């Protein structure tokens, strides 16, 4: 049996400021560092081997993974990949969420933030936030870099990456740890838990709380649990 551990990065500086972050490469807040350390300890208490680890090109996820590995005395490759980056929020990037909701109305706000296939308006080519993107982006093919994304768009890069890179690890009975983002993990969970387009808007992924998914030899899910029961969210499946 193999285990997949999904961890959303700890709180970032822009999470704390309630801003749309997307592809901006902001750091962890002090709270986020604490959440990452707690994630590491929770995973350590499982007393299992971690064979592979993956993260995104964004330092809030990579630092979360680094802290978790340190807490577990592990020296694994980070295996950073842009395909599991956070969703690109287009022209919403950098804006305060509450102020944006008041400006565009709650209905439109919900569509941009939680719908399956509605993307925000594109980020302008001269947007100042592009200067805050990860320097690792230079490794992404230019025609693959989005200027906005829906969750569906995010799904279309996350799931093929999972199928090609991570699923083979699980099929060979490896335990895999992923530190990524709210929307890239929502996209992956949609696939793993067979969540419908209509229900995916209800799935919340808390920061810094590892979700452990256990598979049988046929790669069927036999169990799924958050490690921090005080901060767990409802796990939607087959809906």
Residue appearing with tokens 């340190």: 70
pLDDT at 238 exceeding the cut of 80: no
pLDDT at 108 exceeding the cut of 80: yes
What mean pLDDT value characterizes the chain? 95
Q: How far is it, in rounded angstroms, from Cα 193 to Cα 239?
A: 9
Q: In the structure, what pLDDT confidence band is assigned to residue 129 with cuts at 50, 70 and 90?
A: very high
Please report, for the domain that includes residue 16, its CATH number.
3.40.50.1240
CB 187 within 8 A of CB 154: yes
- Would you say residue 236 lies in a domain? no
pLDDT at 225 exceeding the cut of 90: yes
pLDDT of res. 141: 92
| Total domains, the chain | 1
The pairing of beta strand 52-55 with beta strand 221-226: unpaired
Q: In the structure, what pLDDT confidence band is assigned to residue 117 with cuts at 50, 70 and 90?
A: very high
**Which residues have CB under 8 Å from 156's CB, separation 6+?**
none
- Would you say residue 159 lies in a domain? yes
pLDDT of res. 239: 67
CB 116 within 8 A of CB 197: yes
- Would you say residue 101 lies in a domain? yes
pLDDT of res. 237: 82
Residue appearing with tokens 């005080």: 230
Enclosing domain of residue 160: 2-231
Q: How far is it, in rounded angstroms, from Cα 21 to Cα 164?
A: 27
What is the mean predicted confidence (pLDDT) over 131-142? 94
Q: How far is it, in rounded angstroms, from Cα 129 to Cα 123?
A: 9
pTM above 0.75, yes or no: yes
Q: How far is it, in rounded angstroms, from Cα 234 to Cα 152?
A: 21
pLDDT at 236 exceeding the cut of 90: no
Residues with active-site annotation: 9, 86
Q: In the structure, what pLDDT confidence band is assigned to residue 21 with cuts at 50, 70 and 90?
A: very high
What is the mean predicted confidence (pLDDT) over 127-136? 95
Q: In the structure, what pLDDT confidence band is assigned to residue 52 with cuts at 50, 70 and 90?
A: very high
Q: How far is it, in rounded angstroms, from Cα 170 to Cα 63?
A: 24
Q: How far is it, in rounded angstroms, from Cα 82 to Cα 134?
A: 10
- Would you say residue 139 lies in a domain? yes
Q: How far is it, in rounded angstroms, from Cα 141 to Cα 81?
A: 12
- Would you say residue 238 lies in a domain? no
pLDDT of res. 232: 87
């Amino acid at each position: 049996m193999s285990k997949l551990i999904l961890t959303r990065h700890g709180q970032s500086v822009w999470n704390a400021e309630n801003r749309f972050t997307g592809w901006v490469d902001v750091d962890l807040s002090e709270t986020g560092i604490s959440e990452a350390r707690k994630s590491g300890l929770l995973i350590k208490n499982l007393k299992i081997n971690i064979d592979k680890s993956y993260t995104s090109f964004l330092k809030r996820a990579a630092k979360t993974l680094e802290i978790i590995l340190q807490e577990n005395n592990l020296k694994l490759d980070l295996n950073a990949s842009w395909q599991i980056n956070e969703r690109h929020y287009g022209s919403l990037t950098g804006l305060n969420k509450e102020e944006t909701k008041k400006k565009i109305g709650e209905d439109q706000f919900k569509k941009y933030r939680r719908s399956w296939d509605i993307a925000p308006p594109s980020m302008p080519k001269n947007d100042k936030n592009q200067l805050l993107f990860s320097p690792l982006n230079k490794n992404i093919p230019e025609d693959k870099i989005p200027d906005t994304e829906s969750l569906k768009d995010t799904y279309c890069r996350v799931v093929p990456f999972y199928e090609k890179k991570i699923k083979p690890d699980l099929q060979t009975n490896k335990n895999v740890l992923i530190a990524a983002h709210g929307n890239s993990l929502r996209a992956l969970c949609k696939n793993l838990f067979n969540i419908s387009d209509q229900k995916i808007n209800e799935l919340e992924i808390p920061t810094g709380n590892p979700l452990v998914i256990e598979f049988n030899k046929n790669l069927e899910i036999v169990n799924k649990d958050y490690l921090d029961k005080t901060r767990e969210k409802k796990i939607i499946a087959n809906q």
